[in-house]
Structure 1
Amino acid sequence: MPIEQQSVHLVAATVGFLSLGLLWLTVLWGTTLRVGWGLTRVRHQTLYGVHQTMALVGLTLGLVHALAQLAVPGGPVHLLDEWVPFTNGEDPLGVGLGVISLETLLALTVSVLLQRMLGYHRWRMLHISAYLAFTLLCGHVLISGSDAQSAGVRLLVAAGWLSTLVLRVATTYRAAALPKLVAERLAARLRGRQVLVNVDPGRCVRFGFCEHEAPEIFQLRGDGRLTYRPAVPTGHVEQVIQAARVCPARAIVLSRPATTVVMSGDPAEV
């Protein structure tokens, strides 16, 4: 390989492995966020900020890796190959998997801007495709990566992919069962009693997930401000509990009115 190709190849390979590592951490971090790990000890914005930052940096490095392939003098990858999957003449499968993976991850990044339009549940279901994209990315590295032919590197890539699969499977039951159990217990305690709602304006990010779950209680106005009924009717308690559970900023607080009030002051003055 000529010295010019070696230099560009070294840059592309280094950036590519850095991108793979950051995207692996992003998937693991997102998986733990599904079940609310750390939300009671760390600010919600901090956890999601770290997740989004790792994803953006990882995707940026992935784009740099793709562009570096075009800079290889006389290289086998052309511009069309990086937009249309499986069109590369020398390595259609490996390059095609990388293209699909990168395009899927870019689409997921754009979907963050459409959370309010999609709704919380549909957006979460769409986000599951991140696991497929990471699987394709690992396949791209194993098939096309000339520096991934050694047994050690292949084992490391396979271990990273397997760790995401194991963590996903291990947290699926917890993610599905725990919030439902908490909601059922809370609904049982509040059933038949008046429930009060308070939304912290400093934490509310106005995605509209609460309106999607309980439109009779929460309404997002055209000017972007949220209006809500502070007293919840008995028939809407479970919907409000669900709205509080899916709120990404944990801005909704439920409470019950006091049943006993102790007045202050000297009894002799009464």
Structure 2
Amino acid sequence: MCFTLCWGIFTATGWIKRLTGLQAIRSGHMILASLTLATGISHAVVFVLLREQSLSLTGISVPFTGKFRHTLGILGLEIMIAITLGVGMRRFVKYRNWLRFHQLAYPAVAMVVVHSWFGAIANGHLSVLWLGGLTAVTPAVTLTVLRFTPPRVLIKAGLLSAAPAATPPQMADIDPTEAPNRGVNGKKVQVSVDNQRCRRYGICQAESPELFQLLADGRLRYVRDPDTGSRAGAQAAARSCPMQAIQLQEVRSR
């Protein structure tokens, strides 16, 4: 479960796409998610079959009908199942709404972790499981914190490299029926979007709304020349683009 969360963060940010490729990251996340659901459902069904500490079908599927730790486990597992089913709805709903729903995986994982911790305490296994539990939880917590930390904070901490200064911003539009405008105006770092790759999912807007804006008519409006303060947001958007359509490039004047 924790590995699924970590791999999902890698999928969203693209931090390791140079090592494995984007498709491999996505496939790995889906495989880990399937294993997580299979393990969680099997864990719940086993309690129906046990002679000792057995639970009814209602007890493993309806929250708030038993102990608090059972409720956390049921809620966490059912949210994960709903998120998995919601993956197929991505093309039929607004991407930002779908993304917010998908991000419910973070509290779902937290619920299951607390459920596991309380269960180990109740069964007297905490002394056996605490080391392995912390080993699995620590990377997930660390990556989650980094995932939601503003890019400018990561730059100050030395985890991201700052980009060179740029000239004042200019706006550009990406029209679905036209090729992107790649004008060159002096030596600077420009943001360019490949119209052939861009599918207008809106991930760049979620990462850096001050630089990218998805219009109602399907065009993507973006800042071609971000200033120094916004450059970190452009880097985050470029890393997060699943289609690798956003590029930061240095151009020279003619």
TM-score w.r.t. length of structure 2: 0.64
- Within-5 A mapping of 1:19-38: 23-38=1-16
Q: Is the helix fraction higher in 1 or 2?
A: 1
Q: Report Cα offsets for 1:119-142 as digits up to 9, x if no partner.
A: 14x444334332221221122222
What does residue 111 of structure 2 align with? 136
Q: What is the DSSP-based 3-state SS (H/G/I as helix, E as strand, rest coil) of the residue aligned with 2:90? A: helix
- Measured on the aligned residues, the alpha-carbon RMSD in Å equals 4.2
Match of 2:243 among 225, 230, 249: 249
Task: Say yes or no: does 1:238 pair with 2:223.
Answer: yes
Q: Which moved more, 1:65-74 or 1:250-259?
A: 250-259
Counting matched residue pairs gives: 216
Structure 1 residues 57 and 186, CA gap change in structure 2 (3 angstroms): farther
Task: Say yes or no: does 1:67 pair with 2:45.
Answer: yes
Identity %, equivalent residues: 21
TM-score w.r.t. length of structure 1: 0.61
Alpha-carbon deviation of 1:186?
9.6
Amino acid at match of 1:106: I
Q: What is the DSSP-based 3-state SS (H/G/I as helix, E as strand, rest coil) of the residue aligned with 1:199? A: coil
Match of 2:195 among 193, 196, 199: 199
Structure number with larger C-alpha Rg: 1
Alpha-carbon deviation of 1:93?
1.3
> For residues 34 and 211 of structure 1, what CA distance do their matches in structure 2 show?
11
Alpha-carbon deviation of 1:62?
0.9
Amino acid at match of 1:55: A
Amino acid at match of 2:223: E
What does residue 148 of structure 2 align with? 172
Structure 1 residues 216 and 164, CA gap change in structure 2 (3 angstroms): closer
Structure 1 residues 199 and 252, CA gap change in structure 2 (3 angstroms): farther
Amino acid at match of 2:129: V
Structure number with higher relative contact order (C-alpha < 8 Å, ≥ 6 residues apart): 2
Q: Report Cα offsets for 1:220-246 as digits up to 9, x if no partner.
A: xxxxxxxx79xxxxxx4428997x746
